[in-house]
Amino acid sequence: MKKFSMDKIRRIYRKLNIGQIISITFTLVAIVGMILIGTILYFKYTKELEEKVSENNVEILEQINLNLDNYLRKMMKVSDTVYYRGIKKKDLAKENIDLEMSLLYEENKESLVSICLFSDEGKGIASYPLRELKKDVKARESKWFKDAINKKENLHFSIPHIQNLYEYNQNKYNWVVSLSRSVEITRDGHSTQGVLLVDMNFLGIESIFSKNKTSKNSYTYLISRDGEIIYHPRQQLIYSDIEKENNIQAANYEDGVHREVFLNEERMTTVKTVGYTGWKIVNVTPMKDIISDQKEIKIFFIFIMCLTLFLLAIINVFVSQKIAYPIMQLERYVKRLENDIKDIDIEISGSSEVKHLGKAIKSMAIQMNLLMENIVIEQEAKRKNELNALQAQINPHFLYNTLDSIIWMIEKENYKDSIIMVGALAKFFRISLSKGKNIITVKNELEHAKNYLTIQKIRYRNKFSYSFEIEKEVEELASIKLIVQPLIENAIFHGMEDMDGDGEILIKAYKKDNSIYIDVIDNGMGMLDEVRESLLTNYSKEKGKGSGIGLKNVHERIRIYFGKEYGLEVYSELDEGTTVRIHMPCIDINNVDERDFKK
């Protein structure tokens, strides 16, 4: 049955004309495209909405953290002031700290409930504003007292609790968060340990959290590092087991945004740790709050997609009929183009799109002819430029200056140096010609460079010295002819000019990672980064000096022969010197066929 249906569809499809095929195909493509685009946009919007909510939650937690941190630091400041300006400076057997306590309390009474000082035996020494300690109270058994005594170097914050150490005038007790610390008490010149207790009004923490709300059902709560609830907007319901909270799990969360499922409800949980105390601020936003905003968007997307698809179907029918005939006509011209690309006269008709297509095909035929002609011209020009570069390697000034130097030495009866120069010049030209070959051995290329250095060292009257460090295994590898000498020439003219016998040029040739490297290193003045960066993009040639082959010329020749991954690299620092590095592939000279390079 399935095979029969597919065959029937194929037969129907073959009978359709191009207009019908275009109409049906465009409509199907539009349907698939709109569904795909709509789905992508919907999920993108959903993701962006979630990210926006998470970013908003993080910002709110940052603000809560800032306010809570200021609140806690204020209490720590109160504790520090009582200790360092009161307890630390006075002998409590002779003086009291009532004044310091009262001033601090009056200044911070909106946040404070009481300030108390206890001996290491748990007896009250001083307090404000509450004075009368309950007879049956056992301060030493309180957690805040034990924490302070056992960990003397730290400040300790407790979880919220009812403070019932003192007798109240009214029949009420306050919910507080206690800040306790171990202090050193002086009595009759003797030091003993004690505990300073600052009770903060829990309403201060509650007011910080109650002012911030991210969405309808979202809420923010505060837990200790162990997961104990310090503040929760539904705290009484949780204590009564009417509601539950995922606070123990939240204590293990890292700072940031987390997705969790608690009591079959998916939630976005954002966590921020409060500095010093280790408390965690936790914001919970039910995912249903975020998703509820997406339903209207989903309906809107579906409506727009249906309307667009309807309009596209109508347009496709009209367009397909309009362009069907001109396309078939254009097909005939394309067949002619395949048979005779140089002789085609395309008639431009039909809709603007088909006209544009016809013009494009006609233009393409013209451009193809021009491109083929240009490729031939460019290849010929490239070869000519290469030959011209090789023919222009030897600047007449170098030859004339060398010959003048030889004549001058003969006239001065300096026959020894003149003989050396003549011999070096002969070898220099012999390797330069190399029987018309462009590829020679590294050994010959470096020999050519050595002859050039011999001549220039005599001409410059030993203004510089040179040395070679050549690995034996690179000598019989292939190199392009005349690529080292221009680099040495550049080092002499631009690096050795101001040197007075202190100039040094080092030529190194070595193999690394299946590549040949030839370094020309000088200890000249170096150059600025702007100059160094321009060397391989502008011809580094000075009129009247050297052979006239610039660094860029050498760089491009290497890349033409071996590829764009090879060429020159320049390293230089002012007052340090310059290194120009040649990078070529390792090719045995016996495996070189210059015809391959010419191709």
307-349 pLDDT, tens digit per residue, is 887 787 777 777 666 666 677 677 777 776 666 655 556 666 6
For every residue of 210-272, DSSP letters joined together read: HT---SSS-EEEEE-TTS-EEE-TTHHHHHTTSS---HHHHTTPPSEEEEEEETTEEEEEEEE
Q: How far apart are CA 323 and CA 480, in angstroms?
A: 59
Which among 119, 126, 127, 209 has a CA at the least distance from the CA of 160? 209
* pLDDT exceeds 50 at position 547: no
155-157 and 256-262 as β-strands: parallel, antiparallel, unpaired?
A: unpaired
- Binned at pLDDT 50, 70 and 90, residue 511 comes out as very high
Calculate mean pLDDT across residues 70-92: 90
When comparing pLDDT for 299 and 83, which is higher? 83
pLDDT tens column, 37-54? 878 877 787 788 888 888
Label residues 169-196 b or e (16+ Cβ within 10 Å = b): eeeeebebbbbbbbbebbeeeeeeebbb
Which among 159, 137, 164, 162 has a CA at the least distance from the CA of 247? 159
Question: Could you tell me which residues are beta bridge partners of residue 573?
Answer: 577
Question: Could you tell me which residues are beta bridge partners of residue 580?
Answer: 520, 570
**Alpha-carbon 289 to chain mean position:** 35
When comparing pLDDT for 383 and 216, which is higher? 216
**Alpha-carbon 324 to chain mean position:** 51
* pLDDT exceeds 50 at position 421: yes
Using DSSP's 3-state secondary structure scheme, residue 521 falls into: strand
- Binned at pLDDT 50, 70 and 90, residue 372 comes out as low
Which among 547, 235, 498 has a CA at the least distance from the CA of 392? 547
pLDDT tens column, 227-272? 999 899 888 888 888 999 999 999 999 999 999 999 898 999 999 9
Helix, strand, coil abundance in the chain, percent, nearest 5? 50, 20, 25
Question: Among the listed ranges 70-84, 100-114, 351-365, which one has the minimum average pLDDT value?
Answer: 351-365
What stretch of H or E contains 544? Answer: none
Q: Which residue is listed with tokens 């319901």? A: 237
Residue 477 has what pLDDT?
Answer: 92
Q: Which amino acid is residue 53, in one-letter code?
A: V
Does the pTM surpass 0.85? The reply is no
Inter-residue contact 117 to 196 (CB < 8 Å): yes
Q: How far apart are CA 455 and CA 535, in angstroms?
A: 26
Inter-residue contact 464 to 503 (CB < 8 Å): yes
Q: How far apart are CA 346 and CA 251, in angstroms?
A: 77
Q: How far apart are CA 471 and CA 190, in angstroms?
A: 83
Inter-residue contact 154 to 219 (CB < 8 Å): no
Q: How many CB atoms lie within 10 A of CB 205?
A: 22
Q: How far apart are CA 418 and CA 548, in angstroms?
A: 25
Q: How far apart are CA 564 and CA 584, in angstroms?
A: 10
DSSP structure class, residue 84: I
Q: Which residues contact 345 (CB under 8 A, 6 or more apart)?
A: none
Q: How far apart are CA 418 and CA 413, in angstroms?
A: 9
Q: How far apart are CA 245 and CA 223, in angstroms?
A: 11
Q: Which residues contact 378 (CB under 8 A, 6 or more apart)?
A: none
Residue 391 has what pLDDT?
Answer: 44
Q: Which residues contact 88 (CB under 8 A, 6 or more apart)?
A: 183, 184
Q: How far apart are CA 420 and CA 426, in angstroms?
A: 10
Q: Which amino acid is residue 513, in one-letter code?
A: D
503-512 and 464-470 as β-strands: parallel, antiparallel, unpaired?
A: parallel
When comparing pLDDT for 331 and 466, which is higher? 466
Q: How far apart are CA 301 and CA 308, in angstroms?
A: 10
Question: Could you tell me which residues are beta bridge partners of residue 466?
Answer: 505
* pLDDT exceeds 70 at position 27: yes
Q: Which residues contact 538 (CB under 8 A, 6 or more apart)?
A: 552
230 to 77, 205, 221, 262, 521: CA distances (angstroms): 21, 9, 8, 20, 71
Q: How far apart are CA 457 and CA 465, in angstroms?
A: 7
Question: CA gyration radius for the chain?
Answer: 45
